[in-house]
Amino acid sequence: MAKGQRGAPKLNQAKSFRGQRPQIVRGVEKKAFIPRERTLGGEQVEGRQAVKELLLAKNRRVKEIWLSDSVDRVGIVEEISELAFHQRVPIISVSRTKLDATAGSEGSQGIIAFAERLQETPLEELIKIRKGVKPFLILLDGVTDPYNLGAILRSAECAGVTGVILPEHRSVHVTPAATKSAAGAIEHLRFSMVPGVPAALQELSKAGVWSVGLDAEADQSIYQVTLYDQPVVLVFGAEGKGLAPLVRQRCDLLASIPQYGHIPSLNVSNAAALAMFEVARTRSSLDLPAEN
């Protein structure tokens, strides 16, 4: 079984699984359980810019929008109202108390949209060259903070990343807090979920994609790497822990970000932004096409 995959559930985990069929264990009727489906998420979108981008992108159906009754319908809220009207998306006025109780982020800005969940893209599709652009991917190893994920996704979209790979387990998915922090970037990115990071790196390697893991202890800096013009995946580790040992071994090379202060490390979203834009800068200087 690949690292990170969930094994057979124990009996004391019954509350987290849906029953399938009863069976008798030691004379007592017990239920056999199957894991709930793990999804990418993204159904609840919070924040004004994020909701506006959701409507502008038209990539998935928006079921309804909740708007706090204390919010004035001016500026971007007025734009959202017009977009929703033309797309026949109902806007429901709710109390601020009800909206805040439903919100999953610290700052919903008085608006929540409920949409179809984000669709996953198979890993083999992310690897393909699209519109003449070689794959520029990011893979997150154990990032659990939704605000960090959202910030990484926002930078990824701006840097021209062509695909995002998330592990199914031990990693945050696209929660309401992540949608708020991403400010609409999720509508323009393609996502793939994988059972385990090491196995995904093996598959990427077989397909000719170079993997560069960010590691504070690496001797080579991100500015010395010379393969950004090739199909590449940047691998970012968990906050504080960094890359898992097996993930570090599976990367083709490791690179660090030079630092000159006293604090020992950067926040993962800041480190990711620096690395992604170094790839973007290199590709731009070589006049390589960008996906649009």
Query: What is the rounded average pLDDT of the residues 131-148?
Result: 92
Residue 8 pLDDT: 38
Considering the domain boundaries, does residue 5 fall inside one?
A: no
> Do 53 and 145 share a domain, yes or no?
no
Q: Is residue 214 one of the residues assigned to a domain?
A: yes
Q: Considering only residues 266 and 195, tell me which one the structure prediction assigns the higher pLDDT.
A: 195
> Residues 85, 132: one domain?
no
Q: What is the dihedral of CA 254, 257, 259, 263, to 10 degrees?
A: -80
Burial 101-113 (b: 16+ CB within 10 A, else e): eebebeebbbbbb
Phi–psi pair at 92, nearest 5 degrees: -110, 125
C-beta of residue 36 within 8 angstroms of C-beta of residue 17: yes
Same domain, 142 and 260: yes
CATH number for position 93? 3.30.1330.30
Distance of alpha carbon 30 from the chain centroid: 37
Q: Quick one: 218 and 259 in the same domain?
A: yes
Beta bridge partners of 242: 238
181 and 77 in a common domain? no
Assigned domain for 24 exists: no
Q: Is 20 exposed, middle or buried (0-12, 13-18, 19+ CB in 10 A)?
A: exposed
- The count of structural domains within the chain is 2
**Quick count: other Cβ atoms within 10 Å of Cβ 287?**
6
* Domain contains 185: yes
Q: Residue 292: which pLDDT band, with cuts at 50, 70 and 90?
A: low
Query: Residue 185: which domain range?
Result: 123-285
Dihedral sign for Cα atoms in the order 105, 111, 117, 120:
negative
Query: How many Å apart are CA 240 and CA 251, to the nearest integer?
Result: 19
Mean pLDDT over 136-156 rounds to 95
pLDDT, tens digit (0-9, with 9 covering 90-100), for 45-80: 999 999 999 999 999 999 999 999 988 889 999 999
Q: Which of 80, 115, 150 is the last residue of a domain?
A: 115
- Residue 204 phi/psi, 5-degree rounding, is -65, -40
pLDDT at 107: 81
pLDDT band at 10 (very low <50, low <70, confident <90, very high): very low
Examine the pLDDT at 269 and tell me if it is beyond 80: yes
Angle (nearest 5°) at CA 172 between 163 and 181: 75
Q: Of 65, 84, 115, which marks where a domain is finished?
A: 115
Same-domain pairing of 136 and 267? yes
Q: Give the mean pLDDT of the chain.
A: 86
pLDDT for res 206 = 94
pLDDT(223) > 70: yes
How confident is residue 86, by pLDDT bands cut at 50, 70 and 90?
Answer: very high
Write down the H helix ranges in 160-267: 176-182, 197-206, 245-250
CATH of the domain at 149: 3.40.1280.10
Cα(first)–Cα(last) distance of the chain, in Å?
39
Short-list 255, 268, 267, 149, CA closest to 211: 255
Does the pLDDT value for residue 235 go beyond 90?
A: yes
Task: Return d(Cα 208, Cα 272) in angstroms, integer.
Answer: 22
**Domain co-membership, 129 together with 202:** yes
Judge if 83 and 109 occupy the same domain: yes
- Do residues 170 and 250 both lie within one domain? yes
Q: Is residue 100 in a domain?
A: yes
